[in-house]
A and B are shown apart, each in its own frame.
Chain A
Amino acid sequence: MQNNIDSSLYPTTNGVGDFVRSMLSAQSAELVNNVLAIIAILMVVALSPVVLIWLERKVAAHFQARLGPMRVGWHGMLQPMADGIKLIFKEVLKPEGADSFIFFLAPILPATASFLVLTVIPFDHHLQVTDLPAGVLYVIAVSGLGVMGVLLAGWSSNNKYSLLGAMRSGAQMISYEISLAFLMLLIVLLSGTASLREIVFSQQGTVMDWWIFKFPVFGFIAFVLFLISSTAELNRGPFDIAEAESELTGGFSTEYSGISFAMFFLAEFVNMFVAAALTTTFFLGGFLSPQFGIAPLDQVLNMVPGFIWFFLKSYVVIFIFMWFRWTFPRPRVDQLMDLEWKILLPLNLLIMITGGIFVGMGWV
């Protein structure tokens, strides 16, 4: 799991990992630790949609001054579970003339891709499946796989709504992916490293050392751009034109039912968590506890484990995504494309040049 650890840089160790290392030989301990880490991430993948779907419905309900799900479990906590079990028991329909191989392959791709991004995200000092030296490049590459699933699903369904919905989603997702890639590269420029863990460590210090504040004004602009691009990349409201129910029925997933549909749904919510986790890693100091330069307060904050800070920050970002959805009206498809190509992309290039000047002059 961890190679060449510099003990001064990584002071805390992982209890579980150390226990395994003390019990087994070095070789098998590493293998066991890797498997444990991957299983932990699988649990995140399996459980975060359950929490997020509940949160989504509750937040939406309270924004509209109603209660949302209340019946199943405490305040409807078990509602997503019940829905999931229902979907497993539903029949998977294959429409006439659909390309069956691609039709059943398509939902697997986005679900696996969202899982793959999680493998490089540092949840805590020692809670990361693997830390790739070119982690950012890996994230850009793997998150692009989701688009494939959408396009394959739309094309193989043999349905006009699916095809049009998939084309719209595809065009939207690839457009905003460029923005996301440039913003990630901006962080690479600022921190001088492409490994996600080192990016987190480049933000050590007080809250003002997080990249959102450390790169004055432009850091905050970049953060906002990252949120906007992530929302569009996730096909979430207000940028959900691809599956605007009133226009295109259900977008690319029109013909999907049962577990195949559940896989798209799962991927959507895991991707939401991934986007929030990436925002946290790049701009909000990842698993580092917020420090304010007041010694007693900082010590108390430091006592809380890193992964709790990580999830706390991620869920704040997720709340912002949900807030977006119920605040802004849906733009038209041409406005959406204009926003990316005529506003966000030039702005990104500008911020990139500014970042170059700041780093070159030694200001950040």
Chain B
Amino acid sequence: MSQYLIIAFSIFLGAIFVGCAIIASLLLAFRTPDSRRKVQAYECAEDPLGTARIQFKVGYYIFALLFLVFDIESLFLFPCLKIFRSVTENPTDLVNPSVLFIELGVFVVILFTGLIYAWKKGVLKWE
């Protein structure tokens, strides 16, 4: 548990480190008064046209969904992979390596099928 306290402490120190740099800059930086041109969003020297929160490709969203699937897959694989070696070295009645390997294989194959399905559906195509 104390290990995680150290992590929490380093989050705190890391944020302070970055915060100090930003505060130092706020105190030291030169400032000029705001003008309309100065605060204008950059658009290659043109006046910005319309809103910046434009509609963009839905493709990004689909990739995010796929990412979610595979990221959670890696999370589910983790415990299985972690014990694989120790189970191989001393198998018990409850878990033995061949059963574990088959389970691993089935899990990976199902997800791989999912990837192929998405591929055939044209989700991975980037236009």
Interface residues of A (CB under 8 A from B): 3, 34, 38-39, 41-42, 45-46, 87-98, 104, 107-108, 111-112, 115-116, 119, 129-132, 136-138, 140, 155, 157-164, 167, 170-171, 174-175, 177-178, 181-182, 185, 188-194, 249, 254-255, 258-260, 262-263, 333-334, 337-338, 341-342, 345-346, 349, 352-353, 356-357, 359-360, 362
Contact = CB atoms under 8 A, between A and B. Distances in A.
Interface in B30-82: 30-32, 38-44, 48, 52-54, 56-57, 59-60, 63-64, 66-67, 70-71, 74-75, 77-78, 81-82
Contacts of B14: 42, 45, 111-112, 115-116
Task: Give the 10 A-B CB pairs with smallest separation, nearest first.
Answer: A192-B85, A259-B25, A334-B126, A115-B14, A189-B81, A174-B67, A96-B39, A112-B14, A181-B74, A130-B6
Given A249-B44, A338-B124, A353 B105 contact: yes
A341 B119 contact: yes
B86 to A, nearest CB: 6
B84 to A, nearest CB: 6
Contact of B71 (A45, A129, A178, A258): A178
Interface in B1-39: 2-4, 6-7, 9-11, 13-15, 17-19, 21-22, 24-26, 28-32, 38-39
B71 A181 contact: yes
SS class, residues of chain A in contact with chain B = helix
A155 B78 CA distance: 33
Contacts of A192: 82-86
B31 A170 contact: no
Given A111-B18, A188-B81, A171 B71 contact: no
SS class, residues of chain B in contact with chain A = helix
Nearest to B67: A174
B39 to A, nearest CB: 4
B71 A341 contact: no
Contact of A116 (B10, B22, B101, B115): B10
Nearest to A84: B21
B77 to A, nearest CB: 6
B4 to A, nearest CB: 8
A38 B10 contact: yes
Give the one of A41, A158, A171, A258 with max B CB within 10 A: A171
A177 B67 contact: yes
Given A112-B14, A159-B42, A167-B60, A359 B119 contact: no
B115 to A, nearest CB: 7
Given A167-B57, A170-B60, A259-B24, 9 more contacts: A38-B9, A91-B29, A95-B41, A112-B11, A130-B3, A175-B63, A185-B74, A262-B21, A349-B111
